[in-house]
Amino acid sequence: MTFAIPASADDLDVLGQFLEQNFPVESDPLDAFAVMNSDNQLEAQAAYAGPLLASQSALIVNNKTGEVLFQKNSNRVMPIASISKLMSAMVLLDAHLDMNENITITEAEIDRLKGTSSRLSIGTTLPRSELLHLSLMSSENRATHALGRSYPGGMSAFVAAMNRKAQSLGMTNSRFYEPTGLDFRNVSTAVDLSKMVQAASKYPEIRRNTTSNYGSVYTKRGRQRYKNSNALVREGNWNIELQKTGYIRESGRSMVVKANVQNQPVTIVLLNSPSSLSRVNDARKIESWMLQRRS
């Protein structure tokens, strides 16, 4: 009577032969394979499959070639919070308004959507250029709102211009209801936001203001010091050309970054990460993953 060799035994024998040829050791190759460093295995898997990110949606694009290096739910429509301010900045700059004109913060700038606070006290007067700086660097909502309110035609004209700009950039899954991002109905996708980042990076003022580290202004309550909302900028270890962070409860912690990472010009979009720390850690995981891909 003949006995058929179980398929699992056949598989084991083939695996053993493969390991003997590719991992020559004095001991049994299957045993050697079983005790391989698990961290090395995980690193190899990560380099092949992509980084393990906490963000619900992510996209990494090579800016030079247009190649998508990694994507995760990249076409999912999601609230984008203060990333909206990049679109606000483009619309403002497209209007070629006098950037030295003084604008006064009024009660219209009070956040009645989320009830957030601001150090730009009512009655503070600043040049339009300084309001743009605070809007992009520190995500100052009152500054952004004042820029929209003082736009020719007022806030409704400003928001309409934001949506027209989005459509002109091919951002077909994006919609804006106000300039700050406090309204959760301001939505987009990682793919659309990568288009917005490419467009915004053509404006020197946006590149400069989003990567600025510190600033101070005189308000009705005295001098106020501001810092960049992005820890990657504050740390100074990344070569960042443009960035913007965003947060409201509905959007989670989000971020877009245009930077040179591991000698590659890339745009990174991270949407709905659980915390500020996980958002930054996702960016660091991407940096490590890109290093593994090169090696």
Enumerate the active-site residues: 82, 85, 139
- Strand pairing partners for 270? 58, 255
Strands 125-127 and 187-188, bridge-based pairing: unpaired
DSSP string, 32-88: HHHTS-HHHHHHHHHHHH----SSSEEEEEETTT--EEEEESTT--EE-GGGHHHHH
Query: What is the C-alpha separation between 141 and 152, in angstroms, rounded?
Result: 19
Neighbouring residues of 256: CB distance < 8 A, sequence distance ≥ 6: 83, 86, 193, 194, 196, 197, 242, 243, 244, 267, 268, 269, 270
The CA-based angle 168-171-172, given to 5 degrees, is 105
Output the six-digit token pair for 86.
């990049």
Query: What is the C-alpha separation between 123 and 75, in angstroms, rounded?
Result: 42
